[in-house]
Structure 1
C-alpha cells in the first residue's frame, strides 16, 4: 500500500516541488541528509543547519526551475558545497584579520599610543570641565561632529552665538593646553 507521503515523493520525483506541501515533504525527507552532508566539511551542526536552511530558502525562490528530484538534489548538494566553501573562506579571512589585530595590539608602539591617547583625552576633558557650562555643551557637541547649525538647534541658540562660544572655548583650551601641544610635538 502506498502512503500519502510516498505519493508526494513520487510527485516530486516527476514534477518537482511546486507548493508548500511538496516542500514540507521534501524537507522532512532530505533535511537530515543535507545537514549530515554539510557536517562532513568539519562544520558544527548549528552552522550546517544554518547553511542548509539558507539553501532551502534559495531553492524555494527558484523552485519552478527544477522538474525532477535529481536536479533538485544536485542543486542542494552543489549549493551546500558552495556555501560551505564561502563560509570557510570567510572564516579564514576573519582568522587572519584577528591574528593581525592581535599582533598589532600586542606591539609596544600600539600600547604607547593607546596610553598617550587616553591620557591626552583625559587632560582635554578635564580642561573642558573648567569652561563655562554653555561652552562645555557647545564643545562637547562639536567633538561629536555636530555642525554649528545642529548645535544651535539642540541648545536653542543662534549660529553666531554657537560660533562665539566655540571661539572663546577654543582660545581658553589652546592657552591651557599649550604645554600639552608642545609635548605631543616632541613625541
Structure 2
C-alpha cells in the first residue's frame, strides 16, 4: 500500500469509516502481530497487542493527523507497546524476587498455613527489634535490593560489616520462623 492510498484511508478513518478501519486492519495487523511475536515469543500476547493497537487507532482516529508514514506510526506504537509489556514483566519479576526472599525463610508447609500478611507483620516486628544499623542494612538489602557494596558505600561502612549484619538478621528471622513452625 503506498503513501497516497494510506492518506486516503486515514482520511476516511478520521471520519469514522468502518471500511477504512477494516482495510488498515486487514493489511497491517498481521505485520504488527508478527513483529510482536518475534519480540514477545508468545502468540497470545502478540495477538492481544495487535488488537489493542488497532483498538487504540480506532478510538483516537479523529486525532490521527499529519502522519507522514502510517507504517512508521504503527511501528512506533507496536515498539512502545512491546516495551510496556517488557517493563510490566520486569516489575512482576522484581516483585516475585522480593517474595522469594520471604519464601526462602519458610518451609512449603508453613507458608501454606500462615497468612502472608501475618508473616510480613511478624517479620517487620522482628526487624524493628534489631539494632538500628542491622535494621537499616537489612531493609536496604532485602526491601530495596541494594548489593552489599552499595550498602557499604551508602552507609560508609565496610562490605564485611554489611555481610555480618545481613547474616545475623537472617539468622534471627530463621529462628523466629522456626518458632512459628512449632505451632503448625
TM-score (norm 1): 0.49
Work out which of the two has the higher radius of gyration on C-alpha atoms and give 1 or 2.
Answer: 1
TM-score normalised by length of structure 2: 0.49
